[in-house]
Amino acid sequence: MLKQLITTAAAITCVAASAIARPDLEVGVAAPNLTDVTWLRGDAVKEWKSGEVYVLDFWATWCGPCVASIPHINDLQQGFKDQHVHVIGVAIWPNEKMVPTEKFINTREDMNYTIAADIDGKTANAFMTAAGQNGIPTVMVIGKTGKLEWLGHPMDGLDEVVELIVHDKFDAIAYADKAKAEQEAAMQIYPRLMQAKDAEDWTAMVAAADELLALNPKKFSGINILKYIALVQSDTTAAKTFGHQLVANTFADDAGALNAFAWMIVSPESELPEGSQDAMLAVQAANRANDLTKHKDPSTLDTLARAYYVQGDAQKAYETQKKAVSLAPDGLKQELEEALKTYEEAAESM
């Protein structure tokens, strides 16, 4: 699927296939300028001006979680537009099947910020590879002195960080030290989690997931999906309770996470055992994601349609998928039309 919703620890990011070098761009280091980009929307930003704050959102049109976070990024720019904060969406890691970036942004009414596209991977190398990052969406905040102050997922407290940076109250070094300690601890835990998954030791998998979540529940939020998978395999009652908790609380305001969670449940390639798909829960998650994206994201609507279909409501699946197709850009339309045909045939046979 083009939506790229991943059912692993990176459940709410999209990951590049290339290896990541040892980080050179770290918090407190002067950020390179955006020289190797094509400016698609807004004025070119040739240098980091003193006293200004720049929020770089690294994304791609093929990345479902990136697309789902666009409304949040847009709200951030609107909220801080009078406080010398400049949001720049930097499109990276293109592929042959994706919707072209310029064409994509022309279909969006909620991208009222500067947009640039990488040239030959040079910007991705200068920022993402240099910072040791291999997943999108990733946000980097460049502070008033042109140095990297923060990097992370856009749903991991970004608004609060920008607020602190604007008012000169953010301790970047303390943040960096904490993030480094968390990452080092996570690197010890994550292999155990995956080993438990491979061995189908669901109890050990849940325990490892809980260790990661205890480190930083926002940063490692995607681990919740792996924990849910393990609980479905070992304790269906606990899985049901935990799943509803994710939709109602943990993922409640994160359209990308809700979409990823719902798709994991109802996807034809779902990792869940046959007969254990909680379609009702998937419908709830996808409906919430659909509300958050203002019923305008074709990928989210596609997930919701699939959830209705698995639930047994082919007519609702068909109606929802029709809207998804109507909103889909050309690069995604054919795939969604194939699903639409399936739902239409099922609805007609009811």
For residue 9, pLDDT over 70 is answered with no
Domain identity same for 139 and 58: yes
Q: Is the pLDDT of residue 2 over 80?
A: no
pLDDT at 165 over 70: yes
296 lies in a domain?
Answer: yes
Amino acid letter, residue 38? T
Q: What is the pLDDT of residues 124-141, one digit of tens each?
A: 999 999 998 888 999 999
What does the pLDDT read at residue 24?
86
% the chain with pLDDT above 90: 69
Number of domains in the chain: 2
- Which helix (DSSP H) or strand (DSSP E) does residue 137 occupy? none
Q: Establish if 233 belongs to a structural domain.
A: yes
Torsion 307-313-314-318 (CA) sign: negative
pLDDT at residue number 119: 96
Reading the block at residue 249, the tokens are 């609380």
**pLDDT tops 60 at residue 11:** no
Q: Would you state the pLDDT for residue 13?
A: 60
pLDDT at 30 over 50: yes
Residue 216 lies in a domain: no
CATH at 244: 1.25.40.10
Calpha distance 246→222 (Å, rounded): 11
H or E element at residue 345: helix 330-348
* Domain termination site, one of 152, 170, 188: 170
CATH number at residue 28: 3.40.30.10
Asked if 234 and 343 sit in the same domain, the reply is yes
**pLDDT tens for each residue of 225-281:** 999 999 999 999 999 999 999 999 999 988 888 999 999 999 999 989 989 999 999
Q: Running DSSP on this structure, what letter comes out for residue 8? A: S
Quick one: what percent of the chain has pLDDT higher than 70? 93
Quick one: DSSP state of residue 127? I
Give residue for tokens 């406080």. 83
If phi > 0 it is left, if psi is from -120 to 50 it is alpha, else beta; for residue 198 that is alpha
Token pair, residue 254, equals 């994160």
Residue 227 within a domain: yes
Residue 15: its pLDDT value, please?
Answer: 53
- 37-95 pLDDT, tens per residue? 999 999 999 999 999 999 999 999 888 778 878 989 999 999 999 999 999 999 999 98
d(CA 247, CA 69): 17
What is the pLDDT at residue 6? 41
Residue 123: which residues within 8 A CB-CB, separation 6 or more? 34, 36, 37, 90, 92, 116
Q: What is the mean pLDDT of the chain?
A: 90
The secondary element (H helix, E strand) that includes residue 140 is: strand 138-142
Confidence of residue 12 (pLDDT cuts 50, 70, 90): low
Q: Are 132 and 47 in a shared domain? A: yes
Token duo for residue 158: 């970004």
Same structural domain, 153 and 268? no
| CB neighbourhood size of 106 (10 A) | 12
**Are 26 and 150 contained in the same domain?**
yes
125 lies in the same domain as 19: yes
- The residue from 136, 153, 170 where one domain ends is 170
Q: What is the pLDDT of residues 142-155, one digit of tens each?
A: 999 999 999 988 88
Q: What values do phi and psi take at 118, rounded to 5?
A: -60, 150
Question: For the residues of 284-317, what is the DSSP string, one character each?
Answer: HHHHHHHHHTTT--HHHHHHHHHHHHHHT-HHHH
Least confident of 15-29, 152-166, 207-221, 304-318: 15-29
| Model pTM score | 0.77
Residue range of the domain that includes 327: 221-348
| 156/52 same-domain check | yes
Whether residue 294 is contained in a domain is answered as yes
